[in-house]
Structure 1
Amino acid sequence: MKAINVLGYSRNNEQFVVKTQNADVRISNNNRFPELDGPNPFEYILAGFAGCINAVGQNVAKELGLNLKSLQVEITGTINQEERIGFNKIEIVLKPTTDASLKILQAWLKLVQQKSPVYDNLINPTPVELILFKEYNYAA
């Protein structure tokens, strides 16, 4: 098993910053400071999903000997805030540029779906623990 960890923080309800191993990611959490606005959390989920599909798609293409000249990944998440607060549906449209046949592309797509860890986490229940740690001052 391998643990992946990120640390996020905000001050005075301003922009939320997440530190990852290789980058700082800024996430918009309000519209009070438009100059600080960035993608919202839903857009980051979709962007991460698109990045994962691209990386897995490129790797699977190499495994199959498929000449993948380019790959466009378009992901649309539908949110109905009345029924639930998350995505009700996510649609992914892949547009590969290749000379491969439709049959080979269908096999490629099936393997991309099977090997995508983000896809797996979104379609299968993943236990999530939410732990609260209240900051306090210790006086001796």
Structure 2
Amino acid sequence: MNSNSINVLGYSGNNSQFVVKTLNANLRISENSKYPELEGPNPYEYILAGFAGCINALGQQVANEQGITLRSLQIEITGNLNEPKKGKSRPGFNNIEITLKPAAATSLETLQEWLKEVQRRSPVYDNLVNNTPVDVTLFKEYSYN
């Protein structure tokens, strides 16, 4: 199986907003409360936005491959966050709800097959529903120039 590496670099300093550099863009991530003048999406919103973007891109591609003409595709994703109490539950989403509204002149059965294929091929879906190993390395001191 071939694998491609995707790399991003994030940085914050002196209580400034967290900036993530990607191959094609700089993303600003906010806590949505601490620094209102630096507002931007929070990390949870970026996760859901990335999920929606992946579903859209794959949805369009799979529809084209299956001969389905999508006039439009609306994707609504809601993530319900845990409010962890010390030692009681894990942090993060306790569930994610996705509502897809494709505008296409085709049967419900055809759209259900389309959705199954989108789910099967989505790396974001796979990473959220399955355990993905995460390795973390800590450096004691780092100087950014």
Shorter-chain-normalised TM-score: which range? Answer: over 0.9
Structure 1 residues without counterparts, runs of 5 or longer: none
Q: Residues 110-139 of structure 1, C-alpha deviation per residue, up to 9 Å, x if partnerless? A: 1111011100111111100111012168xx
Aligned-pair identity (%):
66
Structure 2 residues without counterparts, runs of 5 or longer: none
Counterpart of 2:35? 33
Counterpart of 1:73? 75
4+ residue runs over 4 A deviation: none
The within-5 A match list for 1:1-140 is 1-29=3-31, 31-82=33-84, 83-135=89-141
Shift of 1:29: 3.0
TM-score normalised by structure 1 residue count: 0.93
CA contact (8 A) 1:50 1:73 kept: yes
User: What letter matches 2:129 in structure 1?
Assistant: I
CA contact (8 A) 1:14 1:30 kept: no
Between Structure 1 and Structure 2, how many residues are aligned? 137
RMSD (CA atoms): 1.3
**Using the alignment, how far apart are the partners of 2:30 and 2:128 within structure 1?**
22
TM-score normalised by structure 2 residue count: 0.90
